[in-house]
Amino acid sequence: MKCFDCAALGDHVDAVAICADCGAVCHNHAHVTALWLTRTMVMNRVVAVEPPARTIRCGIYQAARDAAPATGYAAAS
């Protein structure tokens, strides 16, 4: 499988991951971010599970997520 972003530029680079939103990406186009999973404990207390999972996105989707934070959610700290 080849990197989608590289193919758009006319290059043929092997993909190393799959973007969580669109398709295959190479090492240069992959952006890895932490994804904090949670679970509900006693008394409906929500806690983060360690260690965080990882999410891989291409540059386009990562830039879109960085530019427009989701509304209606508590800010991550």
Mean per-residue pLDDT, 63-75: 73
pLDDT tens-place string over residues 10-62: 999 999 999 999 889 999 999 999 988 999 988 888 998 899 999 999 988 88
For residue 23, the model assigns a pLDDT of 87
For residue 70, the model assigns a pLDDT of 64
How many CA atoms lie within 13 Å of 71's alpha carbon, on the beta-carbon side? 1
For the question of whether the overall pTM of this predicted structure is more than 0.85, the answer is no
**What are the φ and ψ backbone dihedral angles of 55, each rounded to 5 degrees?**
-120, 135
Is the pLDDT at 77 greater than 60? The verdict is no
Is the pLDDT at 69 greater than 70? The verdict is no
